[in-house]
Chains A and B, each alone.
Chain A
Amino acid sequence: NAGVTQTPKFRVLKTGQSMTLLCAQDMNHEYMYWYRQDPGMGLRLIHYSVGEGTTAKGEVPDGYNVSRLKKQNFLLGLESAAPSQTSVYFCASSEQGALTEAFFGQGTRLTVV
């Protein structure tokens, strides 16, 4: 069982470049999340989705966009990368939102230079 798969695992971007991070889950979960993890700041929620075709803003949404065209996929886009977006990004999915276990991918380490 693959669980939650994130691609790519590593990426270096130049300031102003764009990219898309892909998250795929094979557990038929309704809820999907994108977090960023920075030293000493835990996991901060960027955007989330409560079902196919829906998205909502989290705690730190500025500079990011998301789409959930298919239930199993949740895409995170950076239109114009900034050094402040250097971070480790985690995707997660859960069956019934915050009341059930969140399954995480292995993360994407993004460096913006």
Chain B
Amino acid sequence: TQLLEQSPQFLSIQEGENLTVYCNSSSVFSSLQWYRQEPGEGPVLLVTVVTGGEVKKLKRLTFQFGDARKDSSLHITAAQPGDTGLYLCAGAETSGSRLTFGEGTQLTVNP
């Protein structure tokens, strides 16, 4: 099983601050997905990155896939309380059947 390490595990910041969440592995993934999960709900897909070096933007969120397709980052600019939630990265194993999830980053944005 390929492993994904996510950091930090917890992050508490003030509204308006910027933050970055990291997702790292020693393995190569076919693609990498980022999900956001709210309490009592299942994760919901934010973005999929496929190509090494790819950068995708979703409003104030910027996602990057490492050149070697072993790591990814999520950067949030000017965080808002509505960004509060659990952020999960998930890598698609080379078989294409399974996703490997990181441990998650619990983000709290205080007003």
Which residues of A pack against B, CB within 8 Å?
Answer: 4, 31, 33, 35, 40-45, 48, 50, 56, 58-59, 90, 92, 96-99, 101-102, 104-107
Q: How far is the CA of A5 from the CA of B43 in the complex (A)?
A: 14
Q: Would you call A99 and B42 a contact (CB within 8 A)?
A: no
Q: Would you call B98 and A106 a contact (CB within 8 A)?
A: no
Q: Would you call A98 and B40 a contact (CB within 8 A)?
A: no
Q: How far is the CA of A71 from the CA of B18 in the complex (A)?
A: 44
16 contacts between A and B (CB under 8 A): A4-B42, A33-B98, A42-B102, A42-B103, A43-B101, A45-B98, A48-B98, A56-B97, A90-B43, A97-B96, A97-B97, A98-B99, A101-B48, A102-B43, A102-B45, A104-B43
Which residues of chain B have C-beta atoms less than 8 A from A96's C-beta? 96
Which residues of chain B have C-beta atoms less than 8 A from A31's C-beta? 97
**Count of chain B residues with a beta carbon within 8 Å of a chain A beta carbon:** 29
CB distance from B6 to the nearest CB of A (A): 7
Which residues of chain A have C-beta atoms less than 8 A from B30's C-beta? 98-99
The 6 closest A-B pairs by CB, nearest first: A104-B42, A98-B92, A43-B101, A42-B101, A42-B103, A98-B99
Q: Would you call B42 and A105 a contact (CB within 8 A)?
A: yes
